[in-house]
Amino acid sequence: MLDAIGTTIFTVMSALATRHGAINLGQGFPDTDGPQDVIDAAAAALRDGRNQYPPLTGVAELREAVAAANQRFYGITVDPATEVVVTSGATEAITACLMALLNPGDEAVLIEPLYDTYLPVVRMLGATARLVRLDPPDWQLPRAALEAAFGPKTKLLLLNSPMNPTGKVFSADDLAFIADLLARHDCYAVCDEVYEHLIFDGLKHTPLMSLPGMRERCLRIGSAGKTFSLTGWKIGYVTAPARLATLVARAHQNLTFTTPPNLQRAVALGLAKDDAYFAGLSTDLAAKRDILAAGLRDIGFIVLPSSGSYFITTDFTPLGFEGDDVAFCRHITEHAGVAAIPVSAFYPADAPTHYARFAFCKRESVLRDAIDRLRRHFAARQAAE
């Protein structure tokens, strides 16, 4: 089963970018470190004699900070002692939540395009995935198809909002429709909300957990890596009702057991930062999104809307490239010096093959350099034709 999964496309394209000296706009990581005070807090915490195993569910400081952030941003009241579990990154959090809920024979509803860890974990747990597809360019939720995916064996829906790779932020109407389905079918939702603070154009993130009747049905996942531009720290956190948090903790116990205590304590400091920091995240990233989108559009790409996350999706059909999205992304990495991710990697089968995902969580100078490289390359190709 694992052999069939293969190496993740992010690893493949990042290695190809390194080999060719390309600007990596494929994998979603910033090229600058996060807040200096958070980094300093992590360094200081290494020296104060608390370097042995922390509590299984996370240090008290971080669990309390996660609970406070839920209340502060979304009005969700959380018991830090029983309803928060700290994990080694959001990918582990997703896996632990799925382990906590899925038994062999259960069904899980997944929305395509989807992050590449979702489907393999569902299958490894002996569950069956029911896939519902959002179609470009507007990525509207197909309500009839979603409703049809639910049945007597459905245990959960995995919801990613803001969504990778589409940049979609699910609307209040979407969320209300989903909440009604969960209540009618007595199901849970695993909510991957790692981009919760990276949202643009005046929109606001609304956790499904905050809707009426959803508090006991939702497991909400956050990520310090995305919120503080420290993706290598791998600090994730799950907020869940106590009876489910206990099961998540048991899964975590058998995956990584604990997470570095100094990093946890630093993230606790970060979550208490003032509102200006969190507002600044969105403002800064929206400006970078606009720079990259305008540059790619000028070159000839069709740029799809992105309301959140690190990513924009583009249609490269107008450029006249003969080949699918995997070939296109390899081509621009090797010949233009810019790496992107083929969007077909986010589908298990029958994927669209003319879309490429670019990450804009880079310095402005890097984005402009990438645009210039692509412009020169495609101008030369056009001249040669």
Which phi-psi region, left, alpha or beta, contains residue 334 (left: φ > 0; alpha: ψ -120 to 50)? alpha
Task: Please give the chain's pLDDT, 385 residues, in tens.
Answer: 788 877 888 889 999 999 999 999 998 999 999 999 999 999 999 999 999 999 999 999 999 999 999 999 999 999 999 999 999 999 999 999 999 999 999 999 999 999 989 999 999 999 999 999 999 999 999 999 999 999 999 999 999 999 999 999 999 999 999 999 999 999 999 999 999 999 999 999 999 999 999 999 999 999 999 999 999 999 999 999 999 999 999 999 999 999 999 999 999 999 999 999 999 999 999 999 999 999 999 999 999 999 999 999 999 999 999 999 999 999 999 999 999 999 999 999 999 999 999 999 999 999 999 999 999 999 999 888 7
> What ranges make up the beta strands (E) of the chain?
23-24, 84-87, 107-112, 128-133, 154-160, 188-192, 218-223, 236-239, 302-303, 311-315, 338-339, 341-342, 355-359
What pLDDT, on a 0 to 100 scale, did the predictor assign at position 1?
79
What pLDDT, on a 0 to 100 scale, did the predictor assign at position 8?
85
Give the phi and the psi of residue 233 in degrees, each rounded to 5.
Answer: -70, -30
Q: Where is 328: in which H helix or E strand?
A: helix 325-331
Distance between CA atoms of residues 372 and 351, nearest Å: 30
Q: Where is 97: in which H helix or E strand?
A: helix 90-101
What pLDDT, on a 0 to 100 scale, did the predictor assign at position 4?
80
Sign of CA dihedral 223, 171, 279, 229: positive
Total residues found in the chain within this entry: 385
pTM of structure: 0.95
**112-132 b/e with 16+ CB inside 10 Å = b?**
bbbbbbbbbbbbebebebbbb
